[in-house]
Amino acid sequence: QADIGTKRVQVTSSSSSWTETYSTYYVVIDAYNISQGNYWNKTLGPYSSSSQAAAIGESYLDDTQDPNNIYYDYTVYYNTQVIYYTQYTVTTQNYPDPYSYLRSRYDLGAGWSLAFPSVQIENHSGTQNLFFHDGTGAVYRVRMGTDPDNTNLENYQGKDVKFMDDNGTYSNGQVVSRYVFISSDQRKTYFAADGRLIGIKDRFGNEIKFNHINRLIHGVSYPFISQITDSIGRIIQFTYENTINQSTSENIFITVTHPSNSDNLSITYNKQRLVVNRIDVGQTWYDVRLYSVTDPENNQTVYNYEFPESRFMYTTKNLSNSPAYNTLAWLKDVWYPHSRSTYIQDSPVTRNLGPEGAYQGYRVLTRYDQERRYNPGTGQVYVTGEFNRIGYQYVNDYTGYPNYSSDDILPENFQYSSEATAASTGLKTKTVYNGKKQQIQTEITANNGEKKIITNQSFDANYKFKPTRIELADYASGGASNQLYIDQTYNEWGGLSSKTKALTPAQLNNPSVKSLHTTSYQYHPTYKILTQKSWYQNNSTPLTETYTYDDLGRILTATNPKGEISNYAYNNVAGGQQTTITKNLENSKIAKTILIYGSGAQYAYPTTIKEYYTNSNGR
């Protein structure tokens, strides 16, 4: 499911000021203390008139009941007081915003995006927040710091990458870079000041360049990818129709061409118009949904949706009278060329929206597939049968509602889970998470009662989603169980450092036995690629694989557990760029492979491959 637009809250304040003047009278009483022999006075009031104040003064002069004091005089005086008032009014409005980040970046339809990295920039009340989209679905909040070992990505599980400011070190010919993401292999991905992806360069100098055109979405201009060019001259061209405000659909055409080949590949994304009516805020706008994708073979995949309303409020958990709601697009079915997949949603569930708010969401209850057929007699397409049916059940909600006000305060012992049941086999797969959002258990139960439970019993102190001890428990249908354990350790940047085989508790607690069943890993300090793998074949035979690399991270040698060495050499030759692989075999035999990357393939693929085998006589 995806929001059409974005949930927003706006807090505005206003003030008004005024003054009020008060006129009052006071009386000062003069007295003499007989026992202490000193004079003193006191002030009384306020009074609304001078006569009231004078009457109080006269009453003191007439006082004969106080044995310690003599009241001998009084003075009445007038005072004017000005009081300043300021009244503040705070108004909170919850409303759906037509703006959607994914639409402003790709415009494929609600919830859809291309698998490219980007930087989302949100500005609120003078504060800029950055969110890095890595292109695989993960999103990390950017928090710039001064620690050189910090990734600057909140909750990233490792220290092998880095997101940084960049002072224009890259240009795509249109704009210069403002941010850069450096991958573990030192590949650099560059972004402009508005977050658009403008280029990717690897450590060998290979480059993918992204160019853009501006298009209007809801009257605001955004940059969209118009062309992608790689180092060997391949071009991916994006052509956009801009007709959604005048017609019910529009297309995005993507064409892949190569300068040395007249053939091309094309993909068409068709979008259908949605009319969004927001009666609560008096707004109507057009949005889009992805309707179909046509591949280079002219096969079409069609997507159908339901559009339920979702109530939300940032300021209360009670949604029964919520004036704010937005429209969701959740996938109802997908028509593939030869099948159809159907998804049935649950009724809305309430989830936390920050510490004080809530919103309605939906969960899949059932999904199944059907075979798609064509009736030549009627010319109709129909579906038949039903397979791969899976039902889903849920326990608790990942936001903690209604037991906790926010997922930020969930205790570790809080659990939520989902269970998938295959209708054809009865196989159940249950996945359980704790309050830290760590996956703590996977339970697989067969129809005959046999069960396998995988439990992550502990996690790394620095990388909370990386398990350090895993329990594997197998249960027979009669209830008898068998437990084995796997231990894992991680290095300082989050890479796997060691891993045991599945061991019994006795084996795990015996250091000598444990070491014989442990595989250790070492990595290149710059490129984080494997340099050594060590393990035991048996109690007395250690085995090792080793790899060495040049300054660019190209492999130079690979040594297998038998001690056989493969050597790699890189040279520029008349025919192009040459890679030579030489492998020393038994009895002084040699195998050699020569690959030449020529200009005919823009040096990207081998144009010539030669293989040699030398026997013990050197022939």
- Distance of alpha carbon 556 from alpha carbon 529, whole angstroms: 13
Cis peptide bond prior to 46, omega within 30° of 0: yes
Count of CA atoms in the C-beta half-sphere (13 A) of 293: 13
Can you tell me the mean pLDDT for 233-241?
96
Say yes or no to pLDDT of 98 above 80: yes
Predicted pLDDT of residue 618 = 62
Instruction: Confirm if 319 and 313 have CB atoms less than 8 A apart.
Output: yes
Q: Does the structure show a pLDDT above 90 at 395?
A: yes
The mean pLDDT of 556-564, rounded to a whole number, is 95
- Structural domain boundaries, residue 51: 12-90
State residue 160's pLDDT score. 97
In a domain, 38, yes or no: yes
Over residues 202-211, the pLDDT tens digits come to 999 999 999 9
**Domain presence at residue 212:** no
Q: Across all residues in the chain, what is the average pLDDT?
A: 93
23 occurs within a structural domain: yes
Overall average pLDDT of the 22-26 stretch: 87
Q: Which of these, 573, 547, 541, lies nearest to 560 by C-alpha position?
A: 547
Does pLDDT of 89 surpass 80?
A: no
Q: Hunting for tokens 């990595």 — which residue is that?
A: 523
Give the SS3 label for residue 26: strand
- DSSP result, 576-591: EEEEEEEEE-GGG-EE
**CB contact at 8 A, 189 and 115:** no
Residue type, 428: K
Mean pLDDT, to the nearest integer, of 125-143? Answer: 95
Question: Which conformational region is residue 248 in: left (phi greater than 0), alpha (psi within -120 to 50 degrees), or beta?
Answer: alpha
User: What is the Cα–Cα distance from 300 to 289, expressed in whole angstroms?
Assistant: 16
Q: Comparing C-alpha atoms, which of 220, 221, 117 is closest to residue 161?
A: 117
Would the pLDDT of 278 be above 80?
A: no
Alpha carbon distance 142, 152 (integer Å): 6
pLDDT at 85: 77
Query: Coil, strand, or helix at residue 600?
Result: helix
Q: 10 Å Cβ neighbour count for 262? A: 7
Residue 226 located in a structural domain: no
pLDDT confidence of residue 11: 72
pLDDT over 80 (residue 252)? yes
Quick one: what percent of the chain has pLDDT higher than 70? 99
Give the total residue count for the chain.
619
- Residue 51 and residue 95: Cα distance in Å, rounded? 61
**Contacts of range 414-423, beta carbons closer than 8 Å, 24 or more positions apart:** 415/440, 418/392, 418/393, 418/394, 419/392, 419/393, 419/394, 419/395, 420/390, 420/391, 420/392, 421/390, 421/391, 421/392, 421/393, 422/388, 422/389, 422/390, 423/368, 423/389, 423/390, 423/391
| 21 within domain boundaries | yes
Asked whether residue 473 is assigned to any structural domain, the reply reads no
Buried b or exposed e, range 185-222, using 16+ CB within 10 angstroms: ebbbbbbbeebbbbbbbbbeeeebbbbbeeeebbeeeb
Among 78-82, 105-109, 327-331, the range scoring the smallest mean pLDDT is 78-82
Look-up: residue for tokens 């068709």? 270
Helix (H) or strand (E) holding 548: strand 541-549
The three-class DSSP label of residue 179 is strand
Q: What is the pLDDT of residue 432?
A: 99
pLDDT of residue 279: 61
Which residues are CB-contacts of 240 (< 8 A; sequence separation ≥ 6)?
A: 107, 213, 215, 224, 250, 252
How many domains does the structure of the chain reveal? 1
Say which residues have a Cβ less than 8 Å from residue 377's Cβ, sequence separation at least 6. Answer: none
Q: What is the pLDDT of residue 616?
A: 62
281 pLDDT above the threshold of 80: no
Q: What is the pLDDT of residues 462-489, one digit of tens each?
A: 999 999 999 999 999 878 789 999 999 9
Q: Does the structure show a pLDDT above 90 at 22?
A: no
Residue 39 is assigned to a structural domain of this protein? yes
What's the pLDDT score for residue 546? 99
**What are the tokens at 471?**
């329990």
Let me know if residue 613 belongs to a domain.
no
Q: Give, in order, the Cα–Cα distances in Å from 102 to each of 5, 340, 364, 469, 491.
A: 10, 26, 23, 39, 36
* Closest C-alpha to 83, from 143, 24, 4: 24
Cis peptide before 376 (omega within 30 of 0): no
Span 112-138, mean pLDDT?
A: 94
Q: Which residues are within 8 A (CB) of 251 and not within 5 positions of it... i.e. 6 or more apart? A: 241, 268, 269, 270, 271
Give tens-digit pLDDT for 581-619. 999 887 778 899 999 999 888 888 899 999 998 876 666
Task: Quick: pLDDT tens for 404-439.
Answer: 999 999 999 999 999 999 999 999 999 999 999 999
Place of tokens 């560059």: 190
